[in-house]
Structure 1
Amino acid sequence: MKAELIKKEGNKVTLKITVDNNKFEAAVTKSYNKNKGKYNIPGFRKGKAPKVVIETQYGKGIFYNDAIEILFPEVYPNAIKELNIDPIDRPDLDVEEISQDNGLVMVVNVEVKPEFELGAYKGIEVAKVDNNVTETEVEVSLDEMLNKNARLVSVEDKALENGNTAIIDFEGFESGVAFEGGKGENHNLVIGSNTFIPGFEEQLIGKKAGEEIEVNVTFPAEYHAENLAGKPVVFNVKVNDVKVKELPELDDEFAKDASEFDTLAELRADVRAKLEEEAKNSSEAQMRNVIVEKVAANTEVEAPESMIQQQIDNMLMELNYQLQYQGLNLQQLLEMTGRDIAELREERKADAAKLVKSSLVLEAIADAEKIDSSDEDFSAELEKMSSMYNMEVEKLKASLRESDIEDIKNQIKIRKTIDLLVENAIIA
């Protein structure tokens, strides 16, 4: 294989890749062996016709396209490595020549990462970020622990209030006809949680166990079920039980029951220590982000559109994962908010461009400072990941794809690069 750089204009590169005829013919033979079963040739059993016979009937180049698809994933990575170019998008391939003398000659057009001069990245001045933990925050955390350990207790002759839990049977009707998904029995509904249609929970306030009520509500116009969107409906509701939250006493007994500590004082000290650790990590993350933003601002480079679009893809994928934890997906979010995917992508474009620019600058600094991820770094990262996922290191390593490994190594390299920026920053 021979690779040659033909032209470079901005971020657009044209290269020529030449594969000798013997190698190309070997790929053609592979294509023939893979595809010969598709051809019915008179006088031959299916899949038994010689290559030359199929080529005579269907044309000499019948196997060429598939042969190129076999060869290209092998020769292209070698070509870009040899020419030291860093593609950021899919290559556009044209076949210039196929001949016995010159073999397969391909011309490839591809967009690469932009070249630029780094601005100042050492001696960056930043203000120290301190996130101090207040006594109120400690009390809030303890209150959360109390609520997690609370019991729901039935209360006779109790009128429902905000915060109470109603155990209800319900069935919904639209124009007098029961609709799908509108029925439930012994459903736990926290009044004020806004988990039901707007206006539903408020109409239960003041009701007691054993009472029945007609609840009149209107589905939101952007409701995901089109047959109900914007429609007025009636729910027949029966309150089976009213429960209130009973909190434990915040004392030594609670500390023993809810933690590994024997006293409330020890529990309180542990809560504060954990909050302070979180505050410290948050302060460091904020400061690192500020340094990266200032360093990126010192360098003039335009984020390529293809990289911006890839970053938006990643952002929307992450958003979809987050929505799935709430029982939704991206399409439902769009329907509920009355937007389309193009608007959502445009909303995120500025942030995506900012992230891409920061990434380009950090990679350039890593190259300039010869920062890389060692085998020791990678092993240490796997140890942390295995602990996080409660998985044996070897099993975790075996589950990783080559792209996953490269991604982890790149994350390590970028993290070490930011460490260098922090070490060389002036923090006032």
Structure 2
Amino acid sequence: MNVKSKENQENSAVELVIEVGAEEFEAAVDKVYRKNRKSIAVPGFRKGHAPRKIIEGMYGSGVFYQDAIDELYPTAYAQAVEQEGLDPVAYPKVEVLEVGKDGFTFKALVTVRPPFEIGNYKGLTASKEEVEITAEDVENELKPYIQRATRLVNVEREAKEGDTVLIDFEGFKDGVPFEGGKGENHALELGSHSFIPGFEEGVVGMKPGDEKDLDVTFPEEYTPELAGKAVVFKVKVHEVKEPQAPVVDDEFAKDVSEFDTLEEFKKDLENKLRERREHAAQHAFEDAVTDALIGELKVELPQAMIDFRGDQVLQEYADRFERQGLPFQQYLQMTGQTLDAMREQAKAAAEHQIKIEMALDAVAAAENMTVTDEELEAEYKALAEQYGMEVDQVKAAADAEDVKATLLRRKAMELVKAEAKAEKPQKTTKKKAAKEEEPAAEGEAAPKKRAPRAKKGTPDKTEESAE
């Protein structure tokens, strides 16, 4: 391999013209011939025994050239890049210039890491939420426990909003039953808006044993065969059940938690809520600090670098779904997304990722940070535990320089965070962290509106008949 020329181009690209000599090329051509001769039929010769000269005479002297080039150029390219001290950040664009018995010459356009520098990275300021827990917040944390302990009790009265009714129903369009419009012993919570508009409202006021015809109209955005159509549902109510909430006292606390008193239980809910909100606030603060650090980065990223990293991010997405047993194409169909849209999202994530890495690399360089052998060994052990591997396996699989780079960036990030200053948020964003935070116990998601369907079921809450 010989680098004939090296020329800097625009957009952080370097053009290399690389030459592979006759001896090396001939060896590769012969290797390709021996690999492929068994699949080439030549009259007068047993399959796989035709001499190379005969095959070249039949198909041309360059019949094996392309495969030989494919065999050689990756190694030749890697050697040239190392020789010239380049730092590629994308796949090269390769073009063969000349090829013959004396070897071949190719051009490689190499996208390299662009120059970059960091401005101020100490004392960065970012907004941080002040965590406040009110009595109302604690009561909201308590609600899911109360809901799960609430029983449904049979009552002999007219149904009202909030009750659950057990009904039979059948829908008719122009006097003819339509598909999917019939159900028996269906539990329906009135006011849940799980059925089409007008249906639940029409059941309100009915008592056990009552029968009624409901005139309703399907929404315009419903399935084509029923959208906007007027129909009649024949409904019969079997049971009316009202929710009976538990008495929220010490006994309740014992039933739903590990605590003996309601006060202790509420205090635990408050502490856990505070911990979650503080974690959310800290995470949001660190993200804001990272954004501020990126704002201090001075760099022009080549598009090829973003595209290359974006493809890596997209492949990681696909691999993650495959490991979970969901083919990526099936995921796209389920979510209604296109591959192009996902690729654009991946590119945006890749650009952000690249800038974070560069900014932290610049901080590490400015601070003359290093990684000790002890720190590197500890990281190998941590990775081994994380992936359930032996340390030697991790060392064999992981690139030491990549691991060191990760450790240096981690150190740089810790420095930036330690030096950062938190500011009080503006009033308009006062409770952003609290709103984004998830509740301690999962509540029931609001159901989507739908037409009554033929489905037997029982309410989610415990049913109990009144004595």
User: What TM-score results when the alignment is normalised by the length of structure 2?
Assistant: 0.65
Kindly provide the amino acid, as one letter, of the partner of residue 155 in structure 1: N
Kindly provide the amino acid, as one letter, of the partner of residue 94 in structure 2: L
Residues in 1 aligned to 2:105 and 2:241: alpha-carbon distance in whole angstroms:
78
1:22-61 mapped onto 2 (5 Å cutoff): 22-61=23-62
User: Residue 443 of structure 2 aligns with which residue?
Assistant: none
User: Residue 291 of structure 1 aligns with which residue?
Assistant: 289
Residues in 2 aligned to 1:57 and 1:69: alpha-carbon distance in whole angstroms:
22
1:19-418 mapped onto 2 (5 Å cutoff): 19-77=20-78, 79-101=80-102, 103-126=103-126, 129-147=129-147, 149-150=148-149, 153=152, 155-157=154-156, 162-165=161-164, 178=178, 190-193=189-192, 205-206=204-205, 211=211, 215-218=216-219, 220=221, 232=229, 234=231, 236=233, 243-306=241-304, 356-369=354-367, 370=369, 374-380=376-382, 383=385, 385=386, 393-394=388-389, 414-418=409-413
Work out whether residues 168 and 241 of structure 1, in 8 Å CA contact, stay in contact via their aligned partners in 2.
yes
Q: CA deviation at 1:63?
A: 3.1
Residues in 1 aligned to 2:419 and 2:245: alpha-carbon distance in whole angstroms:
51
User: Residue 15 of structure 1 aligns with which residue?
Assistant: 16
Q: CA deviation at 1:189?
A: 5.2
Higher mean displacement: 404-413 or 19-28 = 404-413
Residues in 2 aligned to 1:24 and 1:213: alpha-carbon distance in whole angstroms:
87
Residues in 2 aligned to 1:29 and 1:190: alpha-carbon distance in whole angstroms:
78
Residues in 2 aligned to 1:63 and 1:279: alpha-carbon distance in whole angstroms:
66
> Any stretches of 5+ residues in structure 2 without a counterpart?
424-467
Kindly provide the amino acid, as one letter, of the partner of residue 149 in structure 2: A
Q: CA deviation at 1:220?
A: 1.8
Work out whether residues 89 and 308 of structure 2, in 8 Å CA contact, stay in contact via their aligned partners in 1.
no
Kindly provide the amino acid, as one letter, of the partner of residue 362 in structure 1: L
Kindly provide the amino acid, as one letter, of the partner of residue 293 in structure 2: V
Residues in 2 aligned to 1:115 and 1:196: alpha-carbon distance in whole angstroms:
60
Q: CA deviation at 1:421?
A: 0.5
Work out whether residues 153 and 243 of structure 2, in 8 Å CA contact, stay in contact via their aligned partners in 1.
no
Q: CA deviation at 1:217?
A: 1.0
Kindly provide the amino acid, as one letter, of the partner of residue 380 in structure 1: A
Q: Partner of 2:108: helix, strand, or coil?
A: strand
User: Residue 428 of structure 2 aligns with which residue?
Assistant: none
Work out whether residues 167 and 188 of structure 2, in 8 Å CA contact, stay in contact via their aligned partners in 1.
yes
User: Residue 423 of structure 1 aligns with which residue?
Assistant: 418
Kindly provide the amino acid, as one letter, of the partner of residue 59 in structure 2: Y
Q: CA deviation at 1:157?
A: 4.5
Kindly provide the amino acid, as one letter, of the partner of residue 421 in structure 1: V
Residues in 1 aligned to 2:123 and 2:53: alpha-carbon distance in whole angstroms:
70
Of structures 1 and 2, the one scoring higher in RCO (CA 8 A, sep 6+) is: 2
Work out whether residues 131 and 282 of structure 1, in 8 Å CA contact, stay in contact via their aligned partners in 2.
no
User: Residue 389 of structure 1 aligns with which residue?
Assistant: none
- CA-to-aligned-CA distance 1:22-79 (integer Å, 9 cap, x gap): 5444544554455445433323444554444333322233333334444445554554
Work out whether residues 217 and 228 of structure 2, in 8 Å CA contact, stay in contact via their aligned partners in 1.
no
Work out whether residues 170 and 235 of structure 1, in 8 Å CA contact, stay in contact via their aligned partners in 2.
no
Q: CA deviation at 1:94?
A: 0.7
Residues in 2 aligned to 1:356 and 1:375: alpha-carbon distance in whole angstroms:
26
Change beyond 3 A, Cα 1:58–1:143: same
Change beyond 3 A, Cα 1:270–1:12: same
Work out whether residues 285 and 422 of structure 2, in 8 Å CA contact, stay in contact via their aligned partners in 1.
no
Change beyond 3 A, Cα 1:42–1:267: farther
Residues in 2 aligned to 1:204 and 1:152: alpha-carbon distance in whole angstroms:
21
Quick one: percent identity of the two aligned structures?
35
Residues in 1 aligned to 2:400 and 2:247: alpha-carbon distance in whole angstroms:
50
Change beyond 3 A, Cα 1:303–1:59: same
Residues in 2 aligned to 1:366 and 1:97: alpha-carbon distance in whole angstroms:
45
Q: How many residues align?
A: 406
Q: CA deviation at 1:111?
A: 3.1
Q: CA RMSD in A?
A: 5.0
Kindly provide the amino acid, as one letter, of the partner of residue 97 in structure 2: E
Q: Partner of 1:280: helix, strand, or coil?
A: helix
Residues in 1 aligned to 2:53 and 2:240: alpha-carbon distance in whole angstroms:
84
Q: Partner of 2:95: helix, strand, or coil?
A: strand
Residues in 1 aligned to 2:170 and 2:295: alpha-carbon distance in whole angstroms:
58
Residues in 1 aligned to 2:400 and 2:153: alpha-carbon distance in whole angstroms:
54
Q: CA deviation at 1:410?
A: 6.7
Change beyond 3 A, Cα 1:301–1:231: farther
Kindly provide the amino acid, as one letter, of the partner of residue 41 in structure 1: V
Structure with greater Cα Rg: 2
Q: CA deviation at 1:82?
A: 4.8
Residues in 2 aligned to 1:366 and 1:117: alpha-carbon distance in whole angstroms:
11
Kindly provide the amino acid, as one letter, of the partner of residue 394 in structure 1: M
Q: Partner of 2:117: helix, strand, or coil?
A: coil
> Any stretches of 5+ residues in structure 1 without a counterpart?
387-392
Change beyond 3 A, Cα 1:307–1:411: same
